[in-house]
Structure 1
Amino acid sequence: MRIGLLIALAAAAPSVPTSGNAAAGRDWGFEMALLGERAVVLGASMAGMLAARVAAEHYRTVIVVDRDMPPGHPSRRRGVPQASHGHVLQAGGVAVVDELFPGILDEMVAEGTPTWGDGDLSRVILEYGGHRFLPSGHLPNPVTSYMPSRPFLDWHVMKRLSAIPNVTVLGGHDVVDVTSSEDRTRVTGVLVARRDEAAVLGADLVIDASGRGSRAPVFLEDLGYGRPREDELMINLAYTSQWLRIPPGAIRQHMVALFPKPGEATTVALLNHENDTWLMTVGVMAGAEQARDYTDMVAMARRRAPGHILEVLETAEPVGQVAHYRTPSSRWRRYDEMPRRPDGFIAIGDAVCSFNPIYGQGMSVAALEALALQRSLRKGDTDLPQRFSRAAAKVVRVAWRNAVSADLSLPEVAGERTLAMRVNNKFSDMVLTAVETDPVVNSQFFRVIGMLDSPTRLMRPSILARVVRANLLRLQPTPVSEPALAG
């Protein structure tokens, strides 16, 4: 099919009447308040799909341009290479996805997605910074976790997004450039290409969700605005993942996650996904040798995993091919600091900040950024790039500090360790010491890493008292029993 016809079809997507927009939007699950004729989203990443859903509330048509054709079933896409590896949608991201697509969680559960909602700590094995979480008991304030694989989650979100009448997904296309007004104060669309054909999609708003490889800095420089400053921490992370067939009931836990610790900058994760499928991911940092195959993965797990997990891994049946993934650094493009920006163009998700993925923050940050975009659009499109970038930076900043602080707690990772960071890491270590024994601190820590609560919640007097008590008990010498006297 020729690109001209594809674009004509996209332009002819079902339009929203100029009157009764709010009523029409309610039929689709949201209110509408039009800001323009068309929004174009670059990339059908999780960030792109959630941004498109939000943009559908304010633009007559929304077109999502992606290199991959939309899949007809859950599958790994070439444009999302990290989808072959372990992913966790944190509780904060879960809440946003269910708000934007009501009922989607129930759908996924009905189709086999496992959940953890009773707070039973025996069903998870977590080690963070060398501290093993409390292995038994119940969280006093549990939050339901959902465990879909990344392809399964992506497919359900894509299916829901594609069902919105004013949204069209234009697959199989590359974004070549942006177009602008004559005075370059506004981006007016994008140049898209397929094979040897190209055409312009006009837009009132362009949302770049094209991921870490985003060309937005080049586009902005070509328009005369310069590139954003970048914060970067070199981590030299390498992942290896393998799908496994494990007999039902062989493992009680639904998740095993052993994060790096000083002297052992490795990650071992085993995740139970939909319909009793399992995914194992191991990772190394600071340039250590990557696992080449499943044999190497099990060898790495022997250094970290409990015995009963190792017994299962030794006999598990690998399914499909092993997958590899590398990322050199965590990087934050500081669009929020740019003094000048063209109207009609914003970036979101990994196009702004790509974190060390072992901490499972990326999708949830993208979801919270989508909420920030929703709030920004509801205030109109005046000064939108600046307002949204500042709002998104508040979301990113917390996750960035958490990830960078955790990485720099490892002597294997090179980087400046400021006094503030050393103090923060010392406090984090005290909290994690309490997590080993105190269910209340466990519960609050889960809410922080799940991006439901701010890290400052760990500094409340009631939590601080428990943290101090746990650390003081840790310092007390273990009593030594005296030998019995002969009678």
Structure 2
Amino acid sequence: MTLANTKRYSPSRVSTIGNRAVVIGASMAGLSAARVLADGFEEVIVIDRDDLPEEPVARKGTPQTSHPHVLLEAGRATLEDLFPGFGADVLAEGGLMVDSGTKMEHFDQGGYMADTQERLPTYCASRPLFDHVLRHHVSEIENVQLRGNQQFTDYLTDSDTTSVTGVTLREEDGTEATISADLVVDATGRMSRTPQWLEKHGYDAPPVDEVQIDVTYSSIQIERPSDDRRMFFVPPSSPRTRGGGLIPIEGDRWDVIIQGVHGDKTPTDPGQFIEFTESLPIPELGQLVKSQTWATDEIEHYPYPSSIRRHYEELTQFPDNLVVTGDAIASFNPINGQGMSVAALDALQLHHTIARDGLDDVARRFFDRTADTIDIVWQMSVGADFDFPQTTGPKPRGTDLFNRYLDRFIRKAHSDPVLSEAFLRVMRLEKPPKTLLQPHTAWRVLRPTGGLKPPRLFATSTSS
């Protein structure tokens, strides 16, 4: 499910369905979930083990926030619906709006994607700034509380463990506390302990798909002339195991990231970092890293061994009044920048779930809904991972055939702005991948270079 085929947020559809909801984790997923739950509960409490800063700084418990993040169009539009004024506040705090259709140099399959004919506006900011703006919006909601320095320890349940009734937590001073709730949302991310909790209490853990890609990435920030808004992106593409990117952000800086897959480890030494960027097929990236003043003292490094998807939708038994969202369901290869946007789309599906039938069988209905979103994103993400023969794990059906088609698609998009735009709209989760196979699009991909007019089968109009 993408932006094109998702019903938009409509708070008037939700009536009060409970007294209190608790969200575990003040991540993008947790904060977005809190927003939609505020429509249906008298009180929503968001707890997080970290201190929740009032400034846009990286949090201790989320080391990945020091690396560049991308807010795709599906995420931007959804967050704007959930939090009116979100985009304006990102810009007011120093973020940028950049046309990624013309300002982004996207290198893949041996060449650069053609500039698009339509504008593709994209918000560019650091992850701490995105989180800061989102926390501010949530803190302004009258019936939502944000509580930092509270470590989730366990779920409360009824006597036969068929329903979750709240949470236990550890306060900053070490004291234990409990919070009762009519609904609990696990937004604790990739390391969620809900699968282990389920097994401990007699349930099956969700089946797991794990695709091994062995990604490492390293990041820095460099100074940027205020009028220079260029973006660069080169994904790893077999047999080249290296990739990188550069994104303009607030404070007249660029976020710079380098990526290596399948054992090509990214360095933490400055000299080796420069050498790595110079090995990429976009020469400007290495030139800028070498010539511009570095705005960070240390190189941030993060390993990501595999993409993981937990199939909660396949479970036949699950405790009432508990749902899992965001990276706790599926975490994708970060190279593709899908995580924040999927978190927002998950919250939108939670909204539609409670709007339709309240808390009745809420987990099953939510997991079924969000599986539609994850199916598409998962196939896109791990499909690209399987471009490398070293990648292991369950391969989605049709991946090899689609990858061969997509390779040709991208090569044709080097000189075809129509194909370039179609591809980018899919990558931005605006449109589903099947749109790349529509007859007129497929003809542009498969026709001989410099070739023929499309056959009548593909014609959109006739003339007499």
Matched residue, 1:133: 113
**Residue pair 1:270, 1:281 contacting (<8 A) in 2 also:** yes
What are the Cα deviations for residues 200-240 of structure 1, in whole angstroms up to 9, with x where unaligned?
A: 11010000000011011122122221211100011111111
Between 216-225 and 94-103, report the one with greater CA deviation.
Answer: 216-225
1:139-158 alignment, distance < 5 Å = 139-158=116-135
Segments of structure 1 that go 5 or more residues without pairing to the other structure are 1-25, 475-487
Matched residue, 1:343: 320
**Residue pair 2:218, 2:259 contacting (<8 A) in 1 also:** yes
Shift of 1:464: 1.4
Q: Which of 279, 294, 316 in structure 2 is aligned with 1:318?
A: 294
**Residue pair 1:258, 1:268 contacting (<8 A) in 2 also:** yes
* Secondary structure in structure 2 of the residue aligned to 1:78: coil
Between 372-381 and 430-439, report the one with greater CA deviation.
Answer: 430-439
1:10-159 alignment, distance < 5 Å = 33-117=15-99, 121=102, 123-134=103-114, 137=115, 139-159=116-136
Tell me the distance in 2 between the aligned counterparts of 1:307 and 1:236. Answer: 25
Relative to the length of structure 1, the TM-score reads: 0.86
Tell me the distance in 1 between the aligned counterparts of 2:283 and 2:234. Answer: 14
Segments of structure 2 that go 5 or more residues without pairing to the other structure are 1-9, 452-464
**Residue pair 1:130, 1:262 contacting (<8 A) in 2 also:** no
* Secondary structure in structure 2 of the residue aligned to 1:423: helix
Q: Which residue identity is paired with 1:98?
A: E
> Identity of counterpart residues, as a percentage?
33
Matched residue, 1:229: 207
Relative to the length of structure 2, the TM-score reads: 0.91
Q: Which of 255, 264, 271 in structure 2 is aligned with 1:279?
A: 255
Matched residue, 2:329: 352
Q: Which of 250, 253, 275 in structure 2 is aligned with 1:299?
A: 275
Between 427-436 and 46-55, report the one with greater CA deviation.
Answer: 427-436
Tell me the distance in 2 between the aligned counterparts of 1:464 and 1:353. Answer: 31
Tell me the distance in 2 between the aligned counterparts of 1:427 and 1:309. Answer: 29
**Residue pair 2:74, 2:341 contacting (<8 A) in 1 also:** yes
What are the Cα deviations for residues 244-263 of structure 1, in whole angstroms up to 9, with x where unaligned?
A: 123344x551x111100112
Q: Which of 169, 173, 181 in structure 1 is aligned with 2:158?
A: 181
Q: Which residue identity is paired with 1:208?
A: D
* Secondary structure in structure 1 of the residue aligned to 2:295: strand
Q: Which residue identity is paired with 2:404?
A: K
**Residue pair 1:179, 1:191 contacting (<8 A) in 2 also:** yes
Q: Which residue identity is paired with 2:446?
A: V
Runs of 4+ in 1 over 6 A off after TM superposition: none
Between 455-464 and 162-171, report the one with greater CA deviation.
Answer: 455-464
Matched residue, 1:362: 339
Number of aligned residue pairs: give it: 440
**Residues 297 and 180 (structure 1 numbering): CA distance in 2 closer, same or farther, change over 3 Å?**
same
**Residues 447 and 246 (structure 1 numbering): CA distance in 2 closer, same or farther, change over 3 Å?**
same
Shift of 1:281: 0.8
Tell me the distance in 2 between the aligned counterparts of 1:295 and 1:133. Answer: 30
What are the Cα deviations for residues 44-97 of structure 1, in whole angstroms up to 9, with x where unaligned?
A: 010000001011111110000101121111000012211111110000100001
* Secondary structure in structure 1 of the residue aligned to 2:398: helix
Between 213-222 and 358-367, report the one with greater CA deviation.
Answer: 213-222
C-alpha root-mean-square deviation of aligned residues, in Å?
2.0
Q: Which residue identity is paired with 2:398?
A: A
**Residues 131 and 336 (structure 1 numbering): CA distance in 2 closer, same or farther, change over 3 Å?**
farther
* Secondary structure in structure 2 of the residue aligned to 1:47: helix
**Residues 54 and 120 (structure 1 numbering): CA distance in 2 closer, same or farther, change over 3 Å?**
closer
Matched residue, 2:148: 171
What are the Cα deviations for residues 137-173 of structure 1, in whole angstroms up to 9, with x where unaligned?
A: 4x23333211111000000000000110100011001
**Residue pair 1:268, 1:305 contacting (<8 A) in 2 also:** no
